[in-house]
Structure 1
């Protein structure tokens, strides 16, 4: 039996910008968009949602989360992680291959994770595959894995996870060649291991220097620049599609932009914490804001916003990397877990900040919707409000506020650097494939209908700016 839902009276994000439209969703897919003037709704409109006063935008796609399932569910788990994401308007996530246990570096581990996650997620999801210093030479294994993953992820420095060793500079060439032959994107945590190792060793001995400042000094922007430069040269040589995650400095963004202009297939992600917080916030708050790369000086934050305005940043990912609070509350900053709990607040925080800066929301929203879908080959299903695409929508009110307190935090471990912040907007509803999964009055649905996105349904490697 066919199901039908109308979302009426909303100010809808289209390719032409925001327009008043009614949206008809049939069997989970957007059927038609109709031009409209806002009209009164009645109690008889059982299959209608009144979006009056709301922006209606595509469900957000977060290509960078660590939900730690299976194996470290006490840190998060896909149940609480996807719930928090849904509350924040995210309808699709790509789960990273590390921080779960075991890491997704073999066909066996990939299959186990896929089976384990079945019927546990509130939202749709895809899985990354891990290419490591140990697995990069096993071509047969990598070829089999490639059939079940959205893309590859590798580290150019120590990952902090024992079964996810970094890829050395020589091994990186093999990783690039393999990804290119498979027509897969290779995403990189790009910090130069030798520089970080030497500086960390040095600064740990500087007992006269504040530990927090020592940590910042141990991971300089130059380590990002060197790693990115090396990776871009390899990508050019092998024709690899590369995606640089959590870039923290405009200097590095500009480096990647120059490579794009030279014809290298590269994209860049940054994260909300690099756009909102700076190193002074880290020095004040400590481990709750520890991440790698670390937070940068305020001028770097402002420079990233300039890069956003220039269109040089392609995607936004939360890099949600949760842990037990005890892993943050350590005696030494060196021992504290590095990661930000933020997937619930990514777009509340970014849109709030964009409005303060008077940046049109239509220019920011594609970084978490259409651009991600284009880059990772899922634009036939996700990322836009248009006919034939999944009916994934978020209704956002700009007339209401969201105050982040511990009670509203939906992570398994209820803390976040966004606590005590006030955002001048509110997610009213999150809709996944034509079904309301979150409502700000009734809360989250009881059904966990998140579906696994099959790699066979996607086409890889397009650059967002080229798809417009």
Structure 2
């Protein structure tokens, strides 16, 4: 049996941060032992010295688009997972679109699983796509459901030709199918009809700032309408629902009310909605284009209030990369909407939380325990507990990280986080007992990630 110790760190446990040493056996946490000198610890085997570090569970990012296979010139799982590891993420869930073809049938799912084998630096699971096209194929959906972490559907245009959004009537079928297959249904919730109407109105208008026009075409009202409709259906069908990248505190309040009424629903937001606002988008342009778009500063503050109230369940990067040329189009309407951020998800979030005086013990579950429990992997991931995978991150709060261009690990080296300084640093990332990233030597060449 292979033994490893992580000693002398301040470890985030279910009892808070404690001075304990972690014994790892064959990639799993064997025991947590109080940091006291004595014969037991003097005789320990190979050791990682975590002196001066916080030791936290490896982060789980349930929302990435690594575009592999098919659009690896945009990213790819090799570069995407490398960036994730550098940022302390040890498990990702890859979305079913932006790869080509989209994962909407069993053959594509199985082909993708086979293709990705031995290519990832971190562990991963795959989402399956539920679209207007495949909703009626109950046998196909049933067979796919065994190999996915959950279903993803759009209530508005996805931007990908082979991933059609579900209509209001189609969403009823999607709710029933997800319930029948005992899988979570994750929704991109914006009301397509309203977006189309507003886009037709704002897009051709002269004399209006084009970036402000884009913002006006995707208002909070379109998000709220979609969420309200989906919540009504989830209550009716008993579907487990997960809203991705919610951008407004007003919308999260609707979800919180539904939770209290018994709807099985959780909600994710993203670091870019907690860091940047619509004025940043107006000033910087397409590098910060996303959907839903960035919101006014009062909405950013509202989201932080929701975090402190415990109303937000998970944080996902929604890492959605593309070629830089797709961000430099003449018109903002033609630019790709998506933000490159998986490398900085937790650095940015923890940095901002600490500046606001929010304790890390309130932030860490949003990317560890909560994600693992919601998506059924808590028996392996999400905590530092005996029996679970030894996925660990060593952090220092007395060192900083500067996101200069040379440090960007994405295939296309740009990001809205570029040149920002975060007042903490990932020193090591450990996946199932093996160091996959060290701030001195970088990411290991060996790709240890497996499909969950």
- State the match for 1:449 in structure 2: 448
**SS state of the match for residue 128, structure 1?**
strand
> What does residue range 328-343 of structure 1 map to in structure 2 within 5 Å?
328-343=327-342
- Please tell me whether residue 368 in structure 1 is matched to residue 367 in structure 2: yes
**SS state of the match for residue 334, structure 1?**
helix
- Please tell me whether residue 349 in structure 1 is matched to residue 348 in structure 2: yes
> What does residue range 244-393 of structure 1 map to in structure 2 within 5 Å?
244-393=243-392
> What does residue range 74-153 of structure 1 map to in structure 2 within 5 Å?
74-153=73-152
CA distance in 1, matches of 2:340, 2:44: 39
Do the aligned partners of 1:154 and 1:188 also contact (CA within 8 Å) in 2? yes
Give the superposition deviation at 1:428.
0.1
Do the aligned partners of 1:352 and 1:425 also contact (CA within 8 Å) in 2? yes
**SS state of the match for residue 202, structure 2?**
helix
- Once the two structures are superposed, residues 259-307 of structure 1 have per-residue CA deviations (whole angstroms, 9 ceiling, x without a partner) of 0000000000000000000000000100000000000000000000000
Q: TM-score under structure 1 normalisation?
A: 0.95
CA distance in 1, matches of 2:19, 2:273: 34
- Once the two structures are superposed, residues 329-350 of structure 1 have per-residue CA deviations (whole angstroms, 9 ceiling, x without a partner) of 1100000000000000000000
**SS state of the match for residue 207, structure 2?**
coil
Do the aligned partners of 1:20 and 1:38 also contact (CA within 8 Å) in 2? no
- Please tell me whether residue 209 in structure 1 is matched to residue 208 in structure 2: yes
CA distance in 2, matches of 1:286, 1:96: 25
- Once the two structures are superposed, residues 394-426 of structure 1 have per-residue CA deviations (whole angstroms, 9 ceiling, x without a partner) of 000001000110000000000000001000000
Do the aligned partners of 2:3 and 2:45 also contact (CA within 8 Å) in 1? no
- Once the two structures are superposed, residues 179-211 of structure 1 have per-residue CA deviations (whole angstroms, 9 ceiling, x without a partner) of 011111000000000000000111012111110
CA distance in 1, matches of 2:359, 2:302: 18
- State the match for 1:465 in structure 2: none
Give the superposition deviation at 1:37.
4.5
- Once the two structures are superposed, residues 55-106 of structure 1 have per-residue CA deviations (whole angstroms, 9 ceiling, x without a partner) of 0000000000000000000000000000000000000000000000000000
CA distance in 2, matches of 1:224, 1:440: 40
Give the superposition deviation at 1:446.
1.2
**SS state of the match for residue 148, structure 1?**
coil
The number of residues matched between the two structures is 450
**SS state of the match for residue 8, structure 2?**
strand
Give the superposition deviation at 1:45.
7.7
**SS state of the match for residue 142, structure 1?**
helix
> What does residue range 144-163 of structure 1 map to in structure 2 within 5 Å?
144-163=143-162
Do the aligned partners of 1:9 and 1:38 also contact (CA within 8 Å) in 2? no
- State the match for 2:229 in structure 1: 230
- Once the two structures are superposed, residues 96-148 of structure 1 have per-residue CA deviations (whole angstroms, 9 ceiling, x without a partner) of 00000000000010011001100100000000000001011111110010011
> What does residue range 416-431 of structure 1 map to in structure 2 within 5 Å?
416-431=415-430
**SS state of the match for residue 7, structure 1?**
strand
**SS state of the match for residue 363, structure 1?**
helix
CA distance in 2, matches of 1:377, 1:263: 20
Do the aligned partners of 1:260 and 1:266 also contact (CA within 8 Å) in 2? yes
- State the match for 2:185 in structure 1: 186
- Please tell me whether residue 196 in structure 1 is matched to residue 225 in structure 2: no
CA distance in 2, matches of 1:207, 1:63: 40
Coordinate RMSD, CA, aligned: 1.3
- State the match for 1:10 in structure 2: 9
Give the superposition deviation at 1:16.
1.3
- State the match for 2:398 in structure 1: 399
Give the superposition deviation at 1:46.
6.7
- Structure 2 unaligned residues grouped into runs of 5+: none
CA distance in 1, matches of 2:443, 2:44: 22
Do the aligned partners of 2:5 and 2:45 also contact (CA within 8 Å) in 1? no
Cα gap change, 1:38 to 1:194, in 2 (>3 Å): farther
Could you list the structure 1 runs, at least 4 aligned residues long, displaced by more than 4 angstroms after superposition.
Answer: 42-46
- Once the two structures are superposed, residues 417-446 of structure 1 have per-residue CA deviations (whole angstroms, 9 ceiling, x without a partner) of 000100000000000000000000011111
